[in-house]
Amino acid sequence: MSRKLGDLAALVVGVAFLAATAGLGAGCAGPTGADVRADLGAGRTAGTALADVPFVSPEAGAEDRGAAALAAVLTHAGRTAGREDLERELVRPGVGGSFPFDVALAVSRRNLHPWARRGLALDDLRAWVEAGRPPVVLLEGPPADRGRRVFAVVTGFDDGRGLVLLHDGAEAHAPHDRDAFLERWERNGRFALVAVPPEAPLPSGFALLSARDRASLGYLAERAGDLAAAHAHYEAAAALDPRFRTNLGRLLLLVGRHSEAENELRGALAVAPHDVRARNHLAVLLLEQAAGLGPGPARDAKVAEAISHAEAAVRFAPAELLPICRDTLERALAARDVAP
C-alpha cells in the first residue's frame, strides 16, 4: 500500500471543492439531482445511485474544502469525522492543500482501508457505487480556475442522460455531464480513493482489489474482532498471492486450527523462504504441537524444527520483529532442555 500511495504523494493538491458558482460544465443544466434520483428509483432512466451519502457543506473561504468530501465519505462508512477536525489534520501549512497520501492516512487512522488508484475507468467508479461505497475523485477546476485541482464525491450515474452525480461542494447529488466529468478527471490522472470498511460488501469480481488490499482489510477486520471477515479477506489474499498465506496461517493458529495453519505457513515459506513472520509463526505452532506430546522422538523432532525456524527468524528479522523472534527462540531452546 505504501508504495502505491507514495506515488500519489507526488501530487500536491489543493483539496478543494467547486464553489457554488463553479459548475463542471455543460451538464449542470437540466434535471436536478432530486429529479435524477427519482427517475432512477422509478426505473424511468437507467443507472444507479446511493441515497444515503451525507452532504457536508464546505465553509466558504476555507483553505481546504476537501475535508468536507472526506467527512461525508467517512460518515457514510460509519466513522465520526468532523470537517473542521479533518481540515486541521489534512492541510499542510504553506502548501495550501493536502497530499493524496495525507487523505489516505486519514482514512486508515479510522480503521478503514484506503483503496487509492490512478488511471481508473468510469466502470471502476461504478463498481464501487454499486457496492455501496462512494469514491472520492480528483478533478480539474472549472475554466475560470483551470489550474486548480478539486475533490468531489461520486454518488451515482444516470446512464440514460449521460450524467454523473456528485457531491460537488455546491449541491448534493448534483448532475454533471459525463463527458465533461471525464475530461476533468482525465486531466488529474483519473484518481479515486475509496474508504472501505473491513466488513463491507466488495464489488463482485472486481479485478482491482489486490492481495495487499485484501490482507489490509483482513488485518482491520481482525483488529475489530470480526474473525470471520478476517478469515475471508486473508483467504482471498492468499489465493491472489501465495506470499500472503502467512496472514491466513497466523489467524488459523490463533483460533487453534493447527493442521490448516501449518499447511498455510509451509506454503508461504515455499515461495518466500526468508519470510520472518512465517518462520516465527511456524515455530510457535510446532512448540504448541510438541506441548501436547509425551517424551519421545515425535516431540523431539517438533522442538528441533521449531528451533531451526526460530533461529532463521532471528537471523532475518528486522529490528521491530527481533524481540518477538528472540522470545520464540528462547521458548524453543527451553523446550529442548526441559523434559515434559
Q: Quick one: 173 and 285 in the same domain?
A: no
Q: Which of 197-206, 246-255, 301-310 has the lowest mean pLDDT?
A: 197-206
User: What contacts 278, CB < 8 A, 6 or more positions away?
Assistant: 245, 246, 249, 265, 268, 269, 272
Among residues 148, 160, 118, 111, which one has the least CA distance to residue 135?
118
Q: Quick one: 127 and 244 in the same domain?
A: no
Query: pLDDT, tens digit, for every residue of 80-128?
Result: 777 778 877 876 766 656 677 888 899 999 999 999 999 999 999 999 9
Q: Quick one: 50 and 148 in the same domain?
A: yes
Please state, as a whole number, how many other Cβ atoms lie within 10 Å of the Cβ of residue 195: 28
Looking at residue 147, its pLDDT comes to: 63
User: What contacts 270, CB < 8 A, 6 or more positions away?
Assistant: 242
DSSP 98: B
For the cut 70, the answer to whether the pLDDT of residue 11 exceeds it is no
Residue 205 covered by a domain: no
Final residue before a domain boundary, out of 196, 222, 255: 196
Domain CATH number, residue 238: 1.25.40.10
Q: Quick one: 131 and 239 in the same domain?
A: no
Residue 129 covered by a domain: yes
Residue 226: all three cell numbers together: 470480526
Among residues 168, 173, 137, which one has the least CA distance to residue 157?
173
Q: What is the mean pLDDT of residues 271-293?
A: 95
For the cut 50, the answer to whether the pLDDT of residue 60 exceeds it is no
Q: What is the mean pLDDT of residues 226-231?
A: 96
How many Cα atoms are found within 13 Å in the side-chain-facing hemisphere of 323? 1
Q: Domain range for residue 260?
A: 211-337
Residue 223 covered by a domain: yes
Looking at residue 143, its pLDDT comes to: 63
Residue 70: all three cell numbers together: 472526506
Domain count for the chain: 2
Buried/exposed 132-148: b ≥16 CB within 10 Å, e otherwise:
bbbbbbbbbbbeeeeeb
Residue 219 covered by a domain: yes
Q: Quick one: 229 and 125 in the same domain?
A: no
Residue in the block written with cell 463498481: 127
Q: Quick one: 245 and 190 in the same domain?
A: no
Residue in the block written with cell 537471523: 315
Q: Quick one: 154 and 233 in the same domain?
A: no
d(CA 39, CA 331): 67
Q: Quick one: 231 and 298 in the same domain?
A: yes
Residue 206 covered by a domain: no
Looking at residue 46, its pLDDT comes to: 92
Looking at residue 259, its pLDDT comes to: 95
Final residue before a domain boundary, out of 133, 167, 196: 196
Contact criterion met (CB below 8 Å) for 242 and 271: yes
Q: Quick one: 152 and 233 in the same domain?
A: no
pTM of the predicted model as reported, rounded to 2 decimal places: 0.82
Residue 201 covered by a domain: no
Highest mean pLDDT: which range of 89-93, 265-269, 288-292: 265-269
Looking at residue 13, its pLDDT comes to: 39
Q: Quick one: 246 and 177 in the same domain?
A: no
DSSP 163: E
Looking at residue 61, its pLDDT comes to: 44
* Bridge partners, residue 98, by sequence: 13
Looking at residue 95, its pLDDT comes to: 61
Residue 214: all three cell numbers together: 485484501
Looking at residue 132, its pLDDT comes to: 95
